[in-house]
Amino acid sequence: MHSSLSLKPTFQVAHSLSSRTPNWIPPPAQVNSCARHTFPAFSIRSQMGSTESLADSLKIKEWEVGMLQNEVATSQGIRIRRRPPTGPPLHYVGPFEFRLQNEGNTPRNILEEIIWHKDTEVTQMKEKMPLSVLKKALENAPATRDFIGSLRVANERTGLPGLIAEVKKASPSRGVLREDFDPVEIARAYEKGGAACLSVLTDEKYFKGSFENLELIRKAGVKCPLLCKEFIVDAWQLYYARIKGADAVLLIAAVLPDLDITYMIKICKILGLTALVEVHDENEFDRVLGIEGIQLIGINNRNLGTFEVDISNTKQLLEGERGRIVRDKDIIVVGESGLFTPDDIAYVHDAGCKAVLVGESIVKQSDPGKGISNLFGKDISLQV
């Protein structure tokens, strides 16, 4: 597949690829071309005959577009597949697609498993709450706060990275981090302890989070800007995060092709949201640095395949030309994962991070505010 042909469509097409609404049908020429040039083995419609139902036809067309997404992603070095690659969703059991658990349809790692589940989850949510409903709800959504501005102020005030403290109950690798989990009390403790911004996990199945937690924290009067820590696969989720009180959202380069990231950043600007674009390796970093409108990049030190953490990843990615581009564009870099001690904070700060995102090492403390002081090696709270 020639990626140069696939990555130049208009944003209308990009929206179609990112927002997989059941009622959208790709232009026949586009789908036929994709099927002919990209998936020669999948001659689905020619085998179905004239008795196929409209519902099945739409689902097959949607599946074909999904395969195109996977092909575009592969051409950009993205290893996380958006959805199972083998076979169209012809059979359904309840709300979930029936899929044979063969080699092609088994997730290759935990992130891919999460993304496949999220894809199904978002499709169901969109059916219950169409985009038109979300756009109407925007009229009553709270105004967004300056996420990047808060990080800059904290960095200048303390001489250390601005802290994005994560409200996080559990993770797939560590299990439950805190049994007595009160999201509002934790958020208040973080704010009192000197956090510049907060990250709120909203994924339910794998992280035991919720959008209710995000909404509760926003309505509780916490002044720190809030990052919706969600696995974004569809532009619809940006609108949903916005009406639930988010000031920023996470976009993962390991999951989203360049065109999706570009499009979603444009939507974020329209909605007043800040986009934190997360990278893990050199390929992802180079891709993101080439996208217009990037202001905030997170470097995740966790290996997606093994879940091992190495904070030297941050330093390696910020050395040389990449570091120069970051400085020239005045991009704030956020260090993520594996930060437990003042030495860790100093290490990523010296590497070029003006912000850090930390969850596990402080949420597990009996006093999360004191946990922040221990992490930074000093009290970074605002002294009244």
Q: Each residue of 53-74: pLDDT tens digit?
A: 665 565 556 656 666 777 777 7
Q: Is the pTM value of this prediction over 0.75?
A: yes
Please list the residues that pair with 277 across neighbouring strands.
Answer: 251, 297
Pairing of strands 170-171, 175-176: antiparallel
- Whole-number average pLDDT of the chain: 82
**pLDDT for res 308:** 86
Digit-coded pLDDT (tens) for 199-226? 999 999 999 999 999 999 999 999 999 9
Measured in whole angstroms, how far is the alpha carbon of residue 286 from the centre of its chain?
Answer: 18
Q: Cα separation of 101 and 120, whole Å? A: 16
Please say if the pLDDT value at position 12 is more than 50.
no
**pLDDT for res 60:** 58
**pLDDT for res 25:** 35
Please say if the pLDDT value at position 184 is more than 90.
yes
Please list the residues that pair with 302 across neighbouring strands.
Answer: 309
Instruction: Average the pLDDT over 351-359 and give the result.
Output: 97
Please say if the pLDDT value at position 32 is more than 80.
no
Q: What is the CA radius of gyration of the chain?
A: 21
CATH architecture of 137-376: Alpha-Beta Barrel (3.20)
- Among 85-89, 167-171, 183-187, 289-293, which is the least confidently predicted range? 85-89
Domain extents in the chain: 3-106, 137-376
Element (H, E) at 227: strand 226-229
Virtual torsion, Cα 252, 258, 262, 267, nearest 10 deg: -50
